[in-house]
Copies of this chain bind each other. A is one copy, B any other.
Amino acid sequence: MTIQTPATELLKIKLPLIQGGMIWCSGWRLASAVSNAGGLGTLGSGSMYPEVLRAHLTKLQAATDQPFAVNLPLLYPSMEEHIQSCIDFKVPVVITSAGSPRIHTERLKNAGICVLHVVSSASFALKSQAAGVDAVIAEGFEAGGHNGREETTTMVLIPAVRDAVQIPVIAAGGIADGRAMAAALALGADAVQIGSRFAASQESSAHPAFKEAILQAGEGATQLTLKELAPVRLLKNPFYQEIQSAYLQGASKEELEALLGRGRAKKGMFEGDMQEGELEIGQVAQSIHDLPSAAELTKNIYSDCVDTLRDLARFTR
């Protein structure tokens, strides 16, 4: 018994579960573990130099013969080289985000790559479909990292996107267990993308201090900030407080960019500076209390989803 959907067919995966590509967290170890467990593992290329992405692709292809993806946040530098690497390495799936799907989709698809685009609204989902993407990942307000300006939550976003487009819809934002996966399917999603939960896994390349901070995060521990610059959900650490107070004092875009500086995300998520670093994580961190292997996570989330659906089936008899 498996959950077969248009998304599993499209992506040629066993389980309708994508591990979100996260900067500094999702290298070849995490991606191969998820792909080998039947989901779709994803490299987060936004934190990689071109040669680093190529090294991860080489290791990932050696570690799995299953489909995998590369996430390309289009606003990051090196995207041109990254795209060429995806073509050269015959990457099966590319997930584009933080940019227009019109620019790169045709080139990627001409190279035989399946293209998914991350959206935060039904209107952008429609534009992505018109641009020729194979599926959209609809990501709600509760998700970690970069996010939409509309602040639409997963509960409201997924049915709206489902009604707007004909291509497969993958739900993201606030999903960390089998109940939420089942809920996403109920809302009309064909699969889920899970980020934060995998950031706190054995194979995640997040610094142990960042993993520990995720385990310690309680209710209200994250906040969507920098809304006029580029909205991003962060863990509320001293760096966030600094950004937030500048923001509330009416700092200009340039002042905020200077304060942000460079390398803050690496400093926090990869080097473990919990004071000065930028820590991107979703609201659902409040429900994460352990650090299992990515394979365990993939299997447990899926089997808990099936159990939830079985339990709900009693209402239909």
Which residues does A use to contact B, with CB under 8 Å?
Answer: 1, 3, 121-123, 140-142, 149-156, 159-160, 162-163, 173-175, 177, 179-180, 182-188, 219-220, 223-224, 248-250, 283-284, 286-287, 306, 308-310, 312-313, 315-317
Contact = CB atoms under 8 A, between A and B. Distances in A.
Nearest to A177: B159
A188 B162 CA distance: 23
A10 B180 CA distance: 25
- The 6 closest A-B CB pairs, nearest first, are A150-B220, A155-B174, A183-B183, A182-B186, A183-B186, A153-B153
A309 B312 contact: yes
A188 to B, nearest CB: 6
Contacts of A3: 315
Contacts of A160: 219, 286-287
Contacts of A223: 151
A159 B288 CA distance: 12
Contacts of A163: 287
Given A313-B313, A316-B313, A155 B182 contact: no
A177 B149 CA distance: 24
Nearest to A306: B316
A179 B159 contact: yes
* Chain A interface SS verdict (over half): helix
Given A159-B287, A183-B184, A220 B152 contact: yes
A154 B151 contact: no
Contacts of A308: 186
A192 to B, nearest CB: 11
Contacts of A284: 155-156
Contacts of A249: 250
Contacts of A179: 159, 162, 186-188
Nearest to A286: B160
Contacts of A315: 1, 3, 185, 306, 309
Nearest to A122: B219
Contacts of A1: 315-317
Contacts of A224: 151
Contact of A142 (B122, B153, B219, B312): B153
Contacts of A316: 1, 306, 309-310, 313
Given A156-B174, A160-B219, A183-B186, 14 more contacts: A121-B220, A142-B156, A151-B224, A153-B174, A155-B174, A155-B180, A155-B183, A159-B179, A183-B183, A183-B184, A306-B315, A309-B313, A312-B312, A313-B313
